[in-house]
Amino acid sequence: MCQCCSEKKDIYLPELATVVKADAMNVTEKYLKLSMDGGQFDYVPGQFVEVSLAGIGEAPITITSSPTQEGGFELVVRKIGNVTNAIHTLNPGDKLGIRGPLGDGMYPVEEAKGRDVVFICGGLGLVPQRSFINYVLANRADYGEVTILQGTKCFDQRLFTAEIAEWENRDDVVMLETLDEPDEKWNGNVGVVTTLVPKVKTDWSSAVVSVCGPPVMYKFVLMALEEFDVPHENIYLNLERKMKCGVGKCGHCQINDIYCCMDGPVFRYSDLATMPEAI
């Protein structure tokens, strides 16, 4: 377990955090900015927390903000069950419990330095990738060309639209976005996110490629990357959807001899290639 996690007195005991900001992003996603009541909260891109509400339960949520950001950390929560439904009722000033940060398999912020970085995001997959993206942009001189691909099912489910517009307007970022379904409000690319891959101008042999999205997306993204002979060791996959307890006790995220919550949630594709059940 990483140093910042091992310093906790009890990995099973949540600490209190206060909601600083809460906004509905669409009908299913809610944005939260949190501040730990105990003070400093150190994490790295790719880590997650267990969010708990007394008497209801807890759920694993990946941190979407970059550690380069000050004034708290950010989560985006999809409404899919009792815990997440309750989280959607929270307002600034409300309290919740936080266990973490958790996870030892993080995004390769050091290994990617000096190299091109390609982010491939599908739907909610932008949320965990955003932490890595903004870390790279906050340390822009350390990295090569930056390309962000974002695919969303429909117009009304788009996330962080103002931020995407900022990325599009930067001259040191290539931002490509697509929708699965056409919409009268949308003038951009229509099609799944893999339709954007051939448009990427990068050195695929050395670029770091970070992928996150719904499980069905992984198969087709990996097939698309195979066409460009992207080395498997340069591809990183986020398996956050498999996590539950966060500390390797419940077995929900176990794949052969690895635990996504402890060994991940971010893995090299080369380490998963012999485990088809992982992706």
pLDDT tens-digit map of 30-75: 999 999 999 989 999 999 999 999 999 999 999 999 999 998 999 9
Q: Is 219 left (phi over 0), alpha (psi -120 to 50) or beta?
A: alpha
Provide CATH code, domain 117-278: 3.40.50.80
Beta bridge partners of 134: none
Distances (CA, A) of 151 to 33, 91, 125, 145: 24, 30, 9, 20
Mean pLDDT of the chain: 92
Q: Where are the beta strands (DSSP E) in the chain?
A: 15-24, 29-36, 48-53, 57-62, 73-78, 95-102, 117-122, 146-152, 174-179, 189-190, 208-212, 235-238, 254-255, 258-259, 266-268
Q: What was the pLDDT predicted at 277?
A: 62
Residues of the chain with CATH 3.40.50.80: 117-278
Tell me which fold the domain 3-102 belongs to: Elongation Factor Tu (Ef-tu); domain 3 (2.40.30)
The predicted-structure confidence for 164-183, as pLDDT tens digits, reads as follows 999 999 999 999 999 999 99
Q: What was the pLDDT predicted at 6?
A: 47
Q: Is residue 196 exposed (0-12), middle (13-18) or buried (19+ Cβ within 10 Å)?
A: buried
Our measurement of the distance from residue 184's CA atom to the centroid of its chain's CA atoms, rounded to an integer in Å, reads 29
Residues of the chain with CATH 2.40.30.10: 3-102
pLDDT tens sequence for the chain (279 residues): 454 444 545 778 999 999 999 999 999 999 999 999 999 899 999 999 999 999 999 999 999 999 999 989 999 999 999 999 999 999 999 999 999 999 998 999 999 999 999 999 999 999 999 999 999 999 999 999 999 999 999 999 999 999 999 999 999 999 999 999 999 999 999 999 999 999 999 999 999 999 999 989 999 999 999 999 999 999 999 988 777 788 878 887 777 888 788 888 999 999 887 776 666
CB atoms within 10 A of CB 94: 14
Q: What was the pLDDT predicted at 1?
A: 47
Answer whether 91's CB lies under 8 Å from 7's CB: no
pTM metric for this prediction: 0.93
